[in-house]
Structure 1
Amino acid sequence: MSYLLTLSKSLSLDGYKKINFLCAGARGNGKSYGTLILVAELGSFPRLDKNQLLGTGQLPTQIYCVDFKNSDMARLAEFLPAGRVATNKEEAIDVVTRYDQLMHQRLDFIKKKSFGATAGTLGMPMYYLIIDEWSATNAAFNQGITRIDKDLRYKWNSLITDIAMLNRVPGFGLGIISQQISVINSGLNSSIQEEAGLKLHFGSANMSSYRLTFGNDIQIPEMNLETGEAYAWIEGLTSSGYVIPFAMPEIEPNKLWNYLRQSLSCTQDDEKYLFFTSKGQ
């Protein structure tokens, strides 16, 4: 499977079919660190051996980031091309506008292929827009009453909605990280919540917090989760029944940074990968 994404040795999924993910949890429980591990995997697709973190890099996922904390995600700018990472509102609009434009260019390309073609059936590299601390980011756009503030707010909301509605066929994913990922408490667009194929909640929390992440119909076991441990809801697998507990790999920070360097340094190139296909159709 070209888009094999492994959460743990016993839990893996098709990253293309579960194109959008939501990641919740209180600060310090490992959600950003866990996402960086996923970025290392995504950037080196396909992964032929699920016991190895890095893959061959023949279908490398193209990574874009918004990180208003200017923290771990923003540091990926060291490996990513210019214009891929945003740390303020103006930069975020530029990055997300570029991401949305590329998505539409790929959609136009796919429409010229055989009926029913998708980025997945064509074997095209995925794209991912990762937004860290969604609640704070969204709140920043909702502040201000000037014409410029309102214009930025409108552009942000319309761009994110457009991506959430159209991103499955072209393989342009959204990864949202936030302490809470409910529509009510975080300002998360309901279309993003509904389109998420993977939902993660890191660390122990009260039952109401878990319900905000997973909904009221999912059974949640009573367990004490440590930092780096999480519950997972995977579309089609846990639509009913229990969420799945798992632990992300324990990787020292310096080693993870080296993995990210190997994964991203030579694989991020829109000109090369936007229209690249590994299968003829």
Structure 2
Amino acid sequence: MNKIMKDNYRTIGRSFYSNRNIEKAFEFYEKAYNSEEGKKDIELILDLALLYDEIYDFDKAKEKFEEVIKLDNTDSRGYYGLGMIYDNNKNFDKAIENYEKAIKLNANYNRAYFYLAGVYDDIKNADKAIECYNKVLSLDPNDFWSYVNLSSIYDEKGNLDISLMYIEKALNIDPEHYMALFNKAVLKKKLGNTCEAINLYKASIEDNPYYGFSYLNLSVIFKEKNQYEDAIKIISEGIKNNEEEGYLYYNRACFYAYLKNYQDSINDLKIAINLYPDFKEYMKNDIELKEVLDYFL
């Protein structure tokens, strides 16, 4: 197969991929690859690696990234790709090793720093995570998720004012993003500004009604005010939009129990346990459910 045919197959593959026809994309990428020239084309092999990664065939993706490195051991993308594979498999030592190799070859590799920060966050090395996220921001001051993730790290460290500063920076980039609004609501609640937290949770829900924790946290605020009917109304709306989230049923069961509506509480607990069987053990020590536990014991 000559170079023109190989490039044509690759172009057709890309066209199918852009239209989300993954099966046909593979067909033409592999036609391009199954040639002497194809097996030497790093860009083509990277495309294949990313396709395999997208369909969660991590073994094949790893194989292709290793091919890239074998062809050119100075190509930072091969190491970055391996870092992603090891990261997905929770092999954090190997992920760090490969992300750092990518960075050594390309000191401005934005995404390598970003995902390396995520690994350090996963292994609870907050200082290294902060260092890497700040490097990302030095390369791209508008990286929304770096601000969000830095805010979360400082929240965990108990530095609420710094956490709030970073989430405000994220919201300056995307003022209506549900996750930034949610995180700011959490912070405002911790800082004692419950009214603002309520409004932020409502704004988060408006942007994304399929994120169940916004409903949960908002409903808990009303539960803490002993406004159980309002709490039930909010969490019921959450269930309507997130029918498979067991924790929403579980918490609504607790609200019903407070109102002595034991049958509805039992019904919700049945659903919660069906979705997440570990709730059956957890509820045994939940004082909020003491009136309905006999049904399950």
Bigger relative CO (Cα 8 Å, ≥ 6 apart) = 1
The structure that has the greater radius of gyration is: 2
- Please indicate, yes or no, whether the TM-score normalized by the shorter chain is above 0.5: no
| TM-score calculated relative to the size of structure 2 | 0.27
Higher relative strand content: 1
TM-score by length of 1: 0.29
